Amino acid sequence: MQYQIVPGTEMNVSRVCLGTMTWGEQNSEAQAHEQLDYAVDQGINFIDTAEMYPVPPNAKTQGRTEKFLGTWLRKQARDKLFVASKVAGPGRRDWIRGGRTDLTQDVIAEAVDTSLQRLQTDYIDIYQIHWPQRNVPMFGGVEYDPHKEKGGPSIQEQVEGMVAMIKAGKIRHYGLSNETAWGVCEFHRVARELGVPGPVTIQNSYSLISRNADNDLAEAMFRQNMSLLAYSPLAAGLLSGKYIGGAKPEGARFTLFDSLGARFRKPIVPEAIDAYAKLAKERGLTLVQLALGYVASRWFVGSSIIGATDMKQLEEDIAAAQLELDEDTLKAISELQGRYPNPAP
Q: Measured between alpha carbons, how far is 205 from 234 in angstroms, rounded to an integer?
A: 10
3-state helix, strand, coil in the chain (%, to 5): 45, 15, 40
Contact 104, 146 (CB under 8 A): no
Q: Measured between alpha carbons, how far is 338 from 303 in angstroms, rounded to an integer?
A: 25
Amino acid at 174: Y
Catalytic residues: 53
Radius of gyration (Cα) for the chain, nearest Å? 19
Q: Are strands 46-48 and 82-87 parallel, antiparallel or unpaired?
A: parallel
Q: Measured between alpha carbons, how far is 170 from 74 in angstroms, rounded to an integer?
A: 16
Rounded (10°) angle between helices 216-224 and 181-194:
20
Which of helix, strand or coil describes residue 3? strand
Q: Measured between alpha carbons, how far is 283 from 214 in angstroms, rounded to an integer?
A: 24
Distances in whole angstroms, Cα of residue 117 to Cα of each of 64, 82, 161, 192, 337? 12, 17, 19, 32, 44
Q: Measured between alpha carbons, how far is 14 from 143 in angstroms, rounded to an integer?
A: 35
Torsions phi, psi of 252, nearest 5? Answer: -75, 155
